[in-house]
Chain A
Amino acid sequence: MPSLGADMEAGTLVEWLKGPGDRVKRGDIVAVVETQKGAIEVDIFEEGVIERWLVEPGTTVPVGTPLALIASTQPAPGAKVSTVAAVPAAPTPMAPSSVEQPPRARRARVSPAARRLAAERGASLDRLTGSGPEGAILYSDVERAAAAEPVPRPTVPRRLDLAEMRRAIAAAMARSKREIPHYYLCTAIELTRGLAWLEGTNATRPPAQRLLLAALLLKAVARALGEAPEFNGFFTAHGFQPGAGIHVGTAIAIRGGGLVAPAIRDADKLSLDDLMAQLRDLVARARSGALRSSEMSDPTITVTNLGERSVETVFGVIYPPQVALIGFGMPVERPWTAGGQVVARRVISATLAADHRASDGHRGALFLADIDRRLQSPEKL
């Protein structure tokens, strides 16, 4: 059972999306679990063949409990069987999740006709037991299996339990305020160039391809983090651990209350269009309750954009074990001085809430200034 945040203690397995014998690779979605943050799709970090399930649907198990056995297909001495979903919330050493097993001597013999039929029907040969010589799979075996194939499972209704989500937020935020010595910085960033560029770009595009200001802000933060690694990562028992990539958690409000902050992975490397497409997809899935486990456990920093709700400035609470949170307010028109003149300019407030155990205000100030600088050249983002 993957940990989807510092506050998560247990999860309930809702359904398996793959069966024993199925080949899986990194990124495949293998199961759905119900957590305080709603139904989450569990994606996998291993490559191999599913041996068997260890947990039945409907069972609630503590974080770290092995969910399935996966036989590695990597040519390793003594094939390894690893457990699914021992995804750490932080780069702490993986829970003991691997056990040694003798390699499986498994190369099913299949008659050509059976193979063709299986391909036609989209049936998996891995799961079949052959009735032919030496267990070879015959045409009739595939036919029988195809006939016996269960009708597709009805999709399990996914729900967001807002009371549960509130408890999860309470636990995480209480821990944050108890353990993290926050410091806060705030600056006003002029957005004239950024907004003009955005308006110019969107004017030539149909709605489906338009960008939101949020995409620009997320990208500027992600790029600036490349120069400010002490804000990107986790604070663990071993002190600050820099993140392996820049995975920006994006605070998404859930209708009716609550919020989640799933990650846009490697946001610094995505083009603005790709980042926007991912943001769109993430918001839709966050609200329908179909996030993936890696998206919940990956964020190395969080960005919140409460300016949407007409506040000028937001001072964030860090989501442990992360060490920083950037908050953007609402873009507003304000008197601004430029070349000795007072002019009306559109301005956005950017705040940094950071963990004093991992960084100091001086570095924080440089980080915010770098975000500002990058937003002045939106075409380079």
Chain B
Amino acid sequence: MTCKDLTAALIDELGRIAPETDASRLDPNAELREELDIDSMDFLNLVTALSERLKIDIPETDYSKLATFSHAVDYLVLRLGVAV
């Protein structure tokens, strides 16, 4: 899996939670919760979907590292050991 695949997976899962998401207009540095109007249930569903899809654990203590789109990509890259 490449960094590009990871980004695509993240966009895909965000789209499931916030169907009106326009990936091209997503500010990578904005807080996802505000940018996409995600609540804690949505966020838990996102984490659940990503951990199942990518076969990784995402502990609750790491949630803050997924706060923005770019941080989330960085975190997943690190977590999966993907070469950038």
Contacts and interface: CB of A to CB of B under 8 A. Distances in A.
A212 B44 contact: yes
A376 to B, nearest CB: 22
Contact of B41 (A212, A256, A309): A212
Interface residues of B, number: 18
B44 A207 contact: yes
Contact of A207 (B18, B58, B61): B58
A207 B39 contact: no
A166 B58 CA distance: 38
Interface string B24-67: 00000000000001011100110110011000011111000000
A256 B20 contact: yes
A6 to B, nearest CB: 27
Interface residues of A, number: 19
A255 B37 contact: yes
B20 A255 contact: yes
A219 to B, nearest CB: 16
A278 to B, nearest CB: 12
Contact of A280 (B41, B59, B60): B41
Contacts of A212: 40-41, 44
Nearest to A253: B39
B41 A206 contact: no
19 contacts: A199-B60, A199-B61, A203-B60, A206-B48, A206-B57, A207-B48, A207-B51, A207-B58, A208-B48, A212-B40, A212-B44, A253-B39, A255-B19, A255-B37, A256-B20, A279-B41, A280-B41, A280-B44, A284-B45
A207 B20 contact: no
Contacts of A208: 48, 52
B46 to A, nearest CB: 9
A214 interface: yes
- Contact residues of B: prevailing secondary structure: helix
B66 to A, nearest CB: 12
Contacts of B40: 212-214, 308
Interface in A197-243: 199, 202-203, 206-208, 210, 212-214
Given A253-B39, A280-B41, A210 B60 contact: yes
A199 B61 CA distance: 8
Contacts, number: 40
Nearest to A209: B48
B54 to A, nearest CB: 12
A124 B19 CA distance: 39
A253 B37 CA distance: 10
Nearest to B40: A212
Contact of A206 (B20, B37, B51): B51
A208 B57 CA distance: 11
Most chain A Cβ neighbours within 10 Å, of B20, B40, B41, B59: B41
Interface in A174-210: 199, 202-203, 206-208, 210
A199 B64 CA distance: 14
A283 interface: yes
Contacts of B45: 280, 284
A262 B57 CA distance: 32
A284 B51 CA distance: 19
A116 B58 CA distance: 51
Contacts of A280: 41, 44-45
A281 to B, nearest CB: 11
Which of B47, B52, B57, B59: most chain A Cβ within 10 A?
B59
Contact of A203 (B19, B20, B61): B61
A323 B52 CA distance: 42
A255 B59 contact: no
Contacts of A199: 60-61
Nearest to A202: B60
Contacts of B37: 255
Contacts of B19: 255
A368 B37 CA distance: 30
Contacts of A210: 44, 60
Given A280-B44, A283-B41, 19 more contacts: A203-B59, A203-B60, A203-B61, A207-B44, A207-B48, A207-B51, A207-B58, A208-B48, A208-B52, A210-B44, A212-B44, A214-B40, A255-B19, A255-B20, A255-B37, A279-B41, A280-B41, A308-B39, A308-B40
